[in-house]
Structure 1
Amino acid sequence: MLVGLWFSVDSLVSWRATLSIWREVSLLGLAFAFLLFFCSHLLRALRIQIYVFKTKTELGGEQASFLAVAKFSAMHQFSNNLLPMRLGELAFPLLARRYFGGSWQERFSQLFWLRVLDAVFVGAVLILLAGMLIVERLDFNALAVLLLLLAALLSVLWCFGLRFGSKLLDRWGWFKVSYIKHLYSTIRHYAPENIGVLARLMLCTLLAWVCKLSALAIVVQLLSQLSITSALFATLAAEISSLLPVHGVAGAGSFEAAFVGGSILTQAWDVQLVAIAVNVHLFVFFSTLIITMALLPFNIRRSSMEAVDV
């Protein structure tokens, strides 16, 4: 896919023309976009600290420093951006066990629930944007209110599902297969049930995605004349492609294809969309690289602490 992307860009718009767009970009606007992107990384790190590395702080125990968790999160995100077929997700349990301890079941289960939160919010934003596209109106105030109401509804459904999920699966006969019952029990055991923790996780997830999508939408508008609606659809489609298990090295090709596909939902096809997609992807990759390199000097000392159930 990487080779295909290289030749596609070279034949459609040329690499020289693609990269020359950066000469006209406002440095102040680019810095603001990077700041939002960095904030999204910090919010993801905070989410991990709240849920994965939550320790007995209330009882006087020690807690992993935020810088340590931020470095861990950045290395995980960079691995995801670099490796194909979602192999970067393996960095989460590997690094977590190396530096903070815990079992494989615990770390994989925690990663599963974090990805569920991501999928829920991305899906919700996609549905809301699609609905507003249908009525031909993008109202950001209405979008903000709907997202908050949706977060409250999801919190209730989450708690309901954790409380009655096993009974429903048992009634439907799924637990007749011992493997499914064991897998469900393991994942269920590490689910964030505490309503306070769940509320903070959902808030961090919401803000992280808002910061990231806003950053990418700003970059799109710095690079082109696309409307904010087209920019949001394009960036959201590209991010959804990065969550899927099928993509190449560094997401090359799949990110650009999804970006172009999302943008043509609201406007006509233009060959310049390919150049914009490539440049947005470069912004994501190098921003993540810069953040990771900046956090690498901070040491993560392996702690004897154990994450507690929430």
Structure 2
Amino acid sequence: MQSDAAMRRPSAFARHRLTLIALAAILAYAVFVHYIWGWSTIFAEWRGIGYGTVALAIGLLVSTYFVRAWRLYDYFPRQTGGRFIELFHLAQVHNLLNIMLPFRSGETSFPLLMRTEFGVPLLHGTSALMVMRLLDLHALLAAGGLGLVLESENKLWPALTWLAFLLAPIPAYLAKGPVLRLLKPKLKGKIGRILEGIEDGLPATLAGLLRAWVVTVINWGVKVAVFAWALGLMGVAPIAASFGGALGGELSSVLPFHAPAGVGTYPAGIVAGALALGAPAGKAAVELLGKAAVNMHLIIMLSALIGAAVSLLLNGLRKLVAGR
């Protein structure tokens, strides 16, 4: 008969589920890219841009995944303390699922994975995810707005407006206490318990919010700057249009109408954003912009694959060192 310890031991799938999900997602992603575009076509396009430039852009994008994982690590210190590599691995699986599944349905994997891997209650994880997505959207708009400031002739008022928007999360957080004190006496029973769960997922202190906010701004600032730089190298001009393209593409991935793997919607977002902020609308210019948008999308997709592969490697090394 099996011992009690052996019977309580999780199955092989349960122990390695994140790794298996990540491997399946990476394989599906790679096959999908080959089916839609063909890897040989992609590499031919990147040869014209320069492999060194593409590698630098991908390296910078992958570095932002570590920044985002640290934001989670700081947001859930009690549950994730001392387990950064495992959390980074979870974050990359969530990122792949989020990219591949349509209509942002991949977001639902985050609270489920956090509950399974770190014991975070579903409502807590969902509430925290909502806060982080609001911070993402705010930082993304702020990063895109920087392009407008740089392009404006009289920079004083645009810069002051941009700064006020950048600091907006602070007064919004300070309003949390009065709003919750107003709602709590009026909401009882199940709704009251839901409100408590939502409150539990909000930053406990202003310092906690500021850390999450600063890391979010750094993350999206780097991403949008890299996107705008890469689009500029691909011929997208002026600089405001490059920022607009970066903003449009990322907004298409943040908003609910995201297509599977961003096919169609992400390049369309880049084109729309660039045209809205001053890119030429002539036939030749739009064709160049469309080509740059597809190339930028592929760079982002490859960075997601590499980020997931790095997380698998680090998690495998962690298990090897731990003797598991």
Q: Among 34, 52, 58, which residue is 1:34 paired with?
A: 58
Q: Matched residue of 1:271: which SS?
A: helix
**Structure 1 residue 218 displacement after superposition:** 2.3
CA distance in 2, matches of 1:125, 1:168: 34
> Mean alpha-carbon deviation: is it higher for 76-85 or for 161-170?
161-170
User: What is aligned with 1:281?
Assistant: 297
Percentage of matched positions with identical amino acids? 25
Gaps of 5+ in 2: 1-32, 320-324
Q: Decide which moves more: 196-205 or 291-300.
A: 291-300
Counterpart in the other structure of 2:78: 55
User: Alignment partner for residue 161 of structure 1, among 175, 180, 185?
Assistant: 175
Shift of 1:276: 1.1
What SS does the corresponding residue of 1:214 show, helix, strand or coil?
Answer: helix
Q: What corresponds to 2:107 in structure 1? A: 89
Structure 2 length as normaliser, TM-score?
A: 0.74
User: Which amino acid is 2:91 matched to?
Assistant: S
Q: Which residue of 247, 251, 257 corresponds with 2:262? A: 251
How many residues are aligned here? 276
Q: What amino acid maps onto 2:139 in structure 1?
A: F
Does structure 1 residue 199 correspond to structure 2 residue 210?
yes
The correspondence of residues 179-190 of structure 1 with structure 2, limited to 5 A, is 182-190=193-201
Q: Deviations over 1:121-149 (max 9, x none)?
A: 2233445545665x44679xx86x87666
Q: 1:168 to 1:234 in 2, by over 3 A?
A: farther
Q: Of residues 228, 247, 266 in structure 2, which corresponds to 1:217?
A: 228
Taking the TM superposition and a 5 Å limit, the aligned residue runs for 1:31-180 are 31-52=55-76, 54-55=77-78, 63-127=81-145, 129-130=147-148, 135-136=152-153, 150-158=165-173, 160-167=174-181
Cα pair 1:242 1:251 within 8 Å, conserved:
yes
Q: 1:147 to 1:207 in 2, by over 3 A?
A: farther
**CA displacement, residues 251-272 of structure 1 (integer Å, 9 cap, x when unaligned):** 1111111111111121222122
Q: Comparing both chains, which one has the higher relative contact order based on Cα–Cα distances under 8 Å and sequence gaps of 6 or more?
A: 1
Whole-angstrom distance in 1 between the partners of 2:103 and 2:303: 21
Which residue pairs with 2:240 in the alignment?
Answer: 229
The structure-2 alpha-carbon separation of the partners of 1:16 and 1:230, relative to structure 1 and needing over 3 Å to count, comes to farther
Runs of 5+ consecutive residues of structure 1 not aligned to the other structure: 1-5, 57-61, 302-310
Which residue in 2 is equivalent to 1:59? none
Q: Indicate how the Cα distance of structure 1 residues 45 and 137 shifts in structure 2: closer, same or farther if over 3 A, else same.
A: farther
Q: In angstroms, what is the RMSD of aligned CA positions? A: 3.3
Q: How far off its partner does 1:296 sit?
A: 1.1
| 1:180 CA drift (Å) | 5.8
Say which structure is richer in helix: 2
The SS at the match of 1:55 is helix
Per-residue deviation, residues 184-210 of structure 1 (Å, max 9, x unmatched) = 432122210312221111110000001
Aligned-partner residue type, residue 275 of structure 1 = K
* 1:268 alignment partner in structure 2: 280
Please report how far the alpha carbon of residue 106 of structure 1 lies from its aligned counterpart in structure 2 after TM superposition.
1.5
Residues 253-305 of structure 1: per-residue CA shift (max 9 Å, x gap) = 1111111111112122212221111111111111111110121131588xxxx
Q: 1:177 to 1:138 in 2, by over 3 A?
A: farther
SS at match of 2:257: coil
Q: Structure 1 213/182 Cα, relative in aligned 2: closer, same or farther at 3 Å? A: same
Does structure 1 conserve the Cα–Cα contact (< 8 Å) formed by 2:92 and 2:307? Answer: yes
Deviation at 1:50, TM superposition (A): 0.3
2-side partners of 1:169 and 1:293: how far apart? Answer: 45
Q: Secondary structure at the match of 1:192?
A: coil
Supply the distance in 2 between the matched residues of 1:190 and 1:105 (Cα, whole angstroms).
Answer: 7
TM-score (norm 1): 0.77
Deviations 1:65-94 (A, max 9, x none): 322221111111111111111111122112
Counterpart Cα distance in 2 of 1:95 and 1:16: 35
- Structure 1 Cα separation of the partners of residues 175 and 265 of structure 2: 34
Q: Report the CA distance between 1:228 and its aligned residue.
A: 2.4
Distance 1:248 1:79, change over 3 A: same
Residue 242, structure 1, aligned to residue 253, structure 2? yes
| 1:48 shift after superposition | 0.4
The letter of the residue matching 1:248 is A
Compare CA radii of gyration and give the structure with the larger one: 2
**Residues 98, 17 of structure 1: CA spacing in aligned structure 2 closer, same or farther, 3 A cutoff?**
closer
1:271–1:284 CA distance, 2 compared to 1 (3 A): same
The farther-off stretch of 81-90 and 175-184 is 175-184
Against the structure 1 CA distance between its residues 258 and 156, is the aligned structure 2 distance closer, same or farther, given a 3 Å change threshold?
Answer: same
TM-superposed CA distance for 1:95, in Å, is 1.7
